[in-house]
Structure 1
Amino acid sequence: MSSPKESSPAPADWVRGPVADLFSSYVATAALSTAHQLGILDQLAEHGQAPFGNGGDDRLSDTVVRSVHRTLHWARVVEIKDDEAVIPGPLFAEAYAARGYFYWLVKGCGELFSIAPDVALTERRTGDFYHRDMRAVAVGSRLIGDEEVEPLFDRILADPPVEKVADLGCGSGQRLIRILGNHPGARGVGVDISTAAVRLATESVESAGLTDRITLLQGDVLALEPHPEFADVDTVTCVFMGHDFWPYDSCVQTLRRLRTAFPAARRLFICDVVRTSDLPGPDTTVFTLGFEAVHALMGDYLPTLDQWHEAFGEAGWECRTVQPTTTPPNGYLFELIPRAD
């Protein structure tokens, strides 16, 4: 039997086609993330067209912007007309809806993939062995949640109304801002371990004119202790960071500690994406491969749905409701109440 190397196909068989598309898709993913940050996608969504290139904006490299447009033209996200204008392409609506996933992957976590061969070595997996752009992670996570998770929160939090809410892993701060907008008499406190995320949230809260109602704290959610700002919190939310509680013993300890840190909390909402067990295939959903690969590279354990329920019970929380989400795929919103015993 000949080896794959000995029977390798002729270049004419792979310089075009599925393997070539894999290569180009990587470039297109980066271009989509870039187009989001530069505001190109929003301009197309709002006005239906954009200049091909920088449009006379000397702050932007005309060459780079044209390259982004050309790449997205290949991906059928945009169409270039007469080398003058860019308009939405056949896949624009879907790509625009998914822009948060691309931004989270490329801008937020892209460095992880470039160092994957290095951090595959056990000896390299110590200390701060990787870096993520946590501001981009926060922005991407907000866009991912805006589609379904945040409206779901709005409906659930309406009854009983919130008086004071704590958002763990508050990211950009937009969730707190929206909740307080829906509950005019409420107050909020946000906690995040990332200085970049806290700065972003501070900017958002100041822009919303809510500095008198929202307090932002930098801290490790896994090691929270009682704090004056926590004493009267009745509702605790935690979105897209619950997997950081794990592995199992750490998760149980963190969940128990939350009962102590927030003694007046009536409800705890955790929304997170769980680990899949099936092999990936043609129907694998957006985000699934990226989410699981990023956390494997970081060394973070991802629990299954059943493991979450086991941890809730041991930590003294009763799971009142579970609501699956379509976006993000494999996501679940758990509504928990402290168990009397």
Structure 2
Amino acid sequence: MNNQLAPIFNSTLVSSALSAAYELGLIEELADRKIIEINQFCQDQNLHEPSVKAIILALCCSNICEIDPTHSTVKPGASFTEAYQYKGYFLWLIRGYGHMLQNLASITKNENRHDDFINRDGKYIALGGRDYGQQFVDDYFQTLMQDFPYHCIADLGCGSGAKLIDIVTKNPTLRAIGLDVNPGAVKTAQMAVQTAQLQTNIKIIEADISQLQPQPDFEEVDVVFSFFNGHDLWPRHKCLKFLQNLYIAFPKIKRFLLCDTYRSDVVPSANIPIFTLGFEFTHGVMGQYIPSLTEWLDLFADSGWNCVEHREIGIPFSAIFDLRPH
């Protein structure tokens, strides 16, 4: 009865189950408590118990969880630590790009590629990015930020606003601006800023970073950073214009930290790291070109920015480019 495609079919369900378990708080609860009474968890969270058990059983198939013989309790399995570490990728893919995955055949037809045909969910892309960003990006970013003085910062494509909140919480004298084109991400960031009670320090703006114009809020910004948005600014001539326009939009800019995932050139392969195929697949369907590392470095040389360093980070085929004005 078994065949080579069974693991592929089953992994689709496990991916959805892991995303849901993270969103419902089940993964965090297991990490904290080590064992959960399923019935009590469902009562506390007002959840449909058969659905929760279906999610848990799917996770058990990949050894992420272990359920007792009576199906009353669940505890972490042998793969739980790794699942916990990478859970943000699954939320990013399943919830952020769920419409694309479900409607892939329709989206591929040219007559259907109009308006917002991808229908990405900015909220879950932001939340997934916050999770894997905290684990695989933030330490590198914080180390780089310590090397350079700054007074007013801007995050282009701020997502959930987590980086701005973290920086300003540690240094309450800072002023910060977050910009994002996705209304869902903007709302998520604004709520997070309010929860942190940092409205006087942080302003979140809905804006297309490829079309920035000078405005009073930007006049004192001296350090700008952007995470996982640079590829959206390509093709090359468009991104070149964006980089050159930063001097105009932010007249006092002294440093630009650009973090992005570049093209791996390992697809197709049977040995692709987590995230890489999902990143290149989704952007291929969107029709968005992903530049290689060499293409990024060549672009910086022509843009009026000096790339003093590119530092590889914990996400496969991803780096932070430290750019300074010539």
Q: How does 1:258-277 map to 2 (within 5 A)?
A: 258-277=246-265
Which one of the candidate residues 232, 249, 257 is aligned to 1:244? 232
Is contact 2:261-2:319 (8 Å) kept? yes
Residue 66 (structure 2) pairs with residue 79 (structure 1): yes
Q: How does the TM-score come out when normalised to structure 2?
A: 0.96
Q: Residue 211 of structure 2 aligns with which residue?
A: 223
Pick from 4, 13, 17 the counterpart of residue 27 of structure 1: 13
Q: Is the 8 A contact 1:141 1:240 kept in 2?
A: no
> Of the candidates 77, 82, 95, which is equivalent to residue 107 of structure 1?
95
Structure 2 matches for 1:248-327, cutoff 5 A? 248-326=236-314
Deviation at 1:156, TM superposition (A): 1.2
Q: Distance in 1 between matches of 2:321 and 2:203?
A: 25
Identity between Structure 1 and Structure 2 (%): 35
1:114-263 pair list within 5 angstroms? 114-263=102-251
Q: Specify the SS of the correspondent of 1:263.
A: coil
Q: Which moved more, 1:94-103 or 1:293-302?
A: 293-302
The answer for unaligned runs of 5 or more in structure 2 is none
| Alignment partner, residue 18 of structure 1 | 4
Deviates more, 1:159-168 or 1:214-223: 159-168
Amino acid at match of 1:338: P
Q: Equivalents in 1 of 2:173, 2:165: separation in Å?
A: 13
Offset at residue 209 of structure 1 (A): 1.2
The reply to whether residue 36 of structure 1 matches residue 22 of structure 2 is yes
- Cα separation, 2, equivalents of 1:119 and 1:202: 32
Q: Which moved more, 1:97-106 or 1:114-123?
A: 114-123
CA contact (8 A) 2:151 2:221 kept: yes
Map Cα deviations across residues 134-176 of structure 1 (whole Å, 9 max, x no partner): 1000000111111131111111111323211000001111100
Residues 77 and 17 (structure 1 numbering): CA distance in 2 closer, same or farther, change over 3 Å?
farther
2-structure distance, mates of 1:275, 1:44 = 35
Task: Quote the Cα distance in structure 2 between the aligned partners of 1:74 and 1:199.
Answer: 36
Structure 2 Cα separation of the partners of residues 322 and 58 of structure 1: 45
Question: CA–CA distance in 2 between the matches of 1:307 and 1:238?
Answer: 18
Change (3 A) 1:96 1:58: closer
Distance across 2 between alignment mates of 1:331 and 1:228: 33
Answer whether contact 2:172 2:201 (CA < 8 A) is retained. Answer: no
Instruction: Find the aligned partners of 2:144 and 2:172 in 1 and give their Cα distance.
Output: 16
Deviation of residue 52 (structure 1)?
2.8
- Residue 58 of structure 1: how far off its partner (Å): 6.7
* Long gaps (5+) in structure 1: 1-11
Match of 1:52, as an amino acid? I
For 1:156 and 1:251, the matched residues in 2 are separated by 23
> CA contact under 8 A between 2:42 and 2:52: conserved in structure 1?
no
Cα RMSD of the aligned pairs, angstroms, is: 1.3
Query: d(CA) in 2 for partners of 1:298 and 1:160?
Result: 37
Q: What is the CA–CA distance in structure 1 between the aligned matches of 2:267 and 2:122, rounded to whole Å?
A: 29
What does the per-residue CA deviation read over 1:32-60, in whole Å, with 9 as the maximum and x for residues that have no partner? 00000000000000111122354434721
Q: Distance in 2 between matches of 1:329 and 1:58?
A: 35
> 1:70 aligns to what?
57
Cα distance in 2, alignment partners of residues 201 and 29 from structure 1: 26
**What amino acid is aligned across from residue 207 of structure 1 in structure 2?**
T
Partners of 2:267 and 2:277 within 8 A in 1: no
Code of the aligned partner of 2:4: P
Aligned residue for 2:318?
331
Tell me the number of residue pairs that the alignment of Structure 1 and Structure 2 aligns. Answer: 324
Once residues 59 and 201 of structure 1 are traced to their aligned partners in structure 2, the CA distance between those partners, rounded to angstroms, is: 27
- Aligned to 1:123, the other structure's residue is in SS state helix
Change (3 A) 1:58 1:247: closer
Does the 8 Å CA contact 2:123/2:184 hold for their aligned counterparts?
Answer: yes
- Per-residue Cα deviation, 1:77-120 (whole angstroms, up to 9, x for no partner): 00001321100000000000000000000011121112211222
* TM-score, normalising length: structure 1: 0.92
**Whole-Å Cα distance in 2 between the matches of residues 332 and 280 of structure 1?**
22
